[in-house]
Amino acid sequence: MSSNHISGAEIVIRCLHEEKVKFVFGYPGGAVLNIYDAVFQQNKFKHVLVRHEQAAVHAADAYSRSTGKVGVALVTSGPGATNAVTGIATAYMDSIPMVIISGQVPTYAIGQDAFQECDTVGITRPCVKHNFLVKDIKDIASTIKKAFYVASSGRPGPVLVDIPKDITAEKYEFSYPKSVHLRSYNPIVKGHSGQIKKALSLLLNAKRPMIYSGGGVVLGDAASQLTKFVRAIGSPITSTLMGLGGFPASDKQFLGMLGMHGTYEANMAMQECDVLLAVGARFDDRVIGNPEHFLSKPKTIIHIDIDPSSISKRVKIDIPIVGDVISVLTELNDLLSKEKTKQNPSLKHWFKDIDQWRSMNCLSFKNDKKLIKPQFVIQTLHKVTKGDAFITSDVGQHQMWAAQYYPFDKPRRWINSGGLGTMGVGLPYAMGTQLAHPDAKVACVTGEASIQMCIQELSTCKQFHLPIKIINLNNRYMGMVRQWQEFFYGNRYAESYMEALPDFVKLAESYGHVGMKIEKPSDVEPALKEAFSNKLKERLVFMDFITDQKENVFPMVPNGKGLSEMITAEDL
């Protein structure tokens, strides 16, 4: 054996160094002990020890969402891998580039029902972009190289690399491939020029043009190109939950979020437009509701997406443009700059309609003297953080209120689980975000149900001194479940009431953090100001807001209905 031979575990670490990984989120265990021994002997990346593997994957996912880099998680075999599955599926649904390294039992024990053995590659297959089982030490470096390449190119997604323990103990020389080529994988980058020209001319000649942008704009770092294009062309724009921040929410052209809990004006404009440009969005059920109803008003649809399978999946597309959104938008901007008439004369009329819908003021709510309205907490959070915080959220009513009442002007500031809708992501998402942006304000908007799904991570936050501000909108209900039960199940609140809640203030304190309970509307702003003050700059503050139990999220497009069939607060 030559002297430059190193262990498989060290090869894994060297690969991560080559990829310039700054953080690895993980949890040790038998099958990854060799790798952890190599982690111990290096200092180029920081290992973040979580309290549950699910949180490791979520935190790595948020690191990626908030930076655009590939997130990395390291878990052991068997239960380590199965615990990671929810995190992986969450990242997969939202197309987040990640590499998950999992330990596996030694190659000779695979298939023997060994201790902590599971078929990790089989279990994760439906929720990864790709996965690998490394069977030979010679393949470790090239496999990890491929994993990073596949995760971050094309439509991004999580890639898992399963490495048996014996392979990490063997020795081999390290050589990291400079480039990688997969004959079976060639993502398209540049859009079809003819289609792009056609798209522009349709938009310029439309009577009621509309733009609808999604998470692809954020993931593709195309926010500034999109903003330039939309401002030049002058049309209204809406965004999906995942696309928020892709276009400045404070801009007049922005109609707010669309979809099940979208604004009245955004949903009406989507329904009534005659030419629709969809950018990095996928017409999912929560966004356009019933596809037949959506198409009942004839419209020409242009769709820019890097993934051909997103096109014409739920709605037939007239002008498909397969390509990277930033490349296609750049081409559109170039073409537009050569046009004589940049803005279309029909826009004035179209905005008159829109202004009428806007005047509905669909997001207005009545503040109460005694009860804290959750919307008011979010509005105040926006005011106190000057709209410049990173906001992570869990899943449910609080998530929708955060999306509706915290306007985002920049991309990668809004970190939440859109596709899978995973309760419990909020706190680990805040961890990954805060580690990536140590000096930024990071707030986790959550509810008393969601937060308890990963509450153990308060311990991780203590260990790594993460000064996250937790905004717990505590209504003692699984609010969104309760809302559906109120509307569609005759007020039968089956198992949606949260009994035996902990004292969150004491809980936070027992983990070494600051706890606050806020029960009066007049205390909301002072409390938030205190939490974000210099005095508590270094501390995690758990703010337990006792909110109105009966508040619902409006507007609402009931499941299976059309976008223009919204229920508003006034209707009830």
Among 45, 185, 357, 365, binds another protein (CB under 8 A): 185
Among 5, 138, 198, 313, binds another protein (CB under 8 A): 313
- Residue 126 lies near another protein (rule: CB under 8 A): yes
- Residue 572 lies near another protein (rule: CB under 8 A): no
- Residue 309 lies near another protein (rule: CB under 8 A): yes
Stretch that binds another protein, among 125-133, 329-337, 422-430, 535-543 (CB under 8 A): 125-133
- Residue 179 lies near another protein (rule: CB under 8 A): no
The first and second tokens of residue 297, run together, are 């008003």
Interactions with another protein, residue window 511-570 (CB under 8 A): none
Distance CA(398)–CA(447), nearest Å, equals 6
Report yes or no: 94 and 242 within 8 Å, Cβ to Cβ: yes
Distance in Å, CB of 383 to another protein, minimum: 44
**Residue closer to another protein (CB basis): 124 or 404:** 124
- Whole-angstrom CA distances from 253 to 200, 238, 309, 412 are 18, 9, 30, 20
- Residue 184 lies near another protein (rule: CB under 8 A): yes
Q: How many residues bind another protein (CB under 8 A)?
A: 19
Distance in Å, CB of 313 to another protein, minimum: 6
**Residue closer to another protein (CB basis): 274 or 307:** 307
DSSP one-letter code for 457: G
**Residue closer to another protein (CB basis): 153 or 416:** 153
Distance CA(94)–CA(47), nearest Å, equals 25
Report yes or no: 51 and 92 within 8 Å, Cβ to Cβ: no
Residues 6+ away with beta carbon under 8 Å from 557:
259, 260, 261, 262, 267, 289, 563, 565, 566, 567
What is the end-to-end Cα distance of the chain in Å, rounded? 77
What is the set of active-site residues? 53, 115-116, 165, 480
Number of neighbours of residue 279 by Cβ within 10 angstroms? 30
Distance in Å, CB of 143 to another protein, minimum: 12
**Residue closer to another protein (CB basis): 67 or 312:** 312
Stretch that binds another protein, among 51-59, 120-128, 279-287, 370-378 (CB under 8 A): 120-128
The first and second tokens of residue 492, run together, are 């039968």
Stretch that binds another protein, among 182-190, 273-281, 496-504, 514-522 (CB under 8 A): 182-190
**Residue closer to another protein (CB basis): 153 or 397:** 153
The first and second tokens of residue 421, run together, are 């809708």
Among 17, 44, 125, 197, binds another protein (CB under 8 A): 125
**Residue closer to another protein (CB basis): 51 or 129:** 129
Q: Write out the H or E segment, with its range, that includes residue 279.
A: strand 275-279
Give rounded-to-5 percent helix, strand, coil for the chain: 40, 15, 40
> What amino acid is encoded at 238 in this protein?
T
CA angle 199, 294, 269 (to 5 degrees): 65
Stretch that binds another protein, among 123-131, 404-412, 474-482, 553-561 (CB under 8 A): 123-131
Q: In the complex, which residues of this chain contact another protein (CB under 8 A)? A: 121-122, 125-126, 129-130, 133, 150, 182-185, 307-309, 311-313, 316
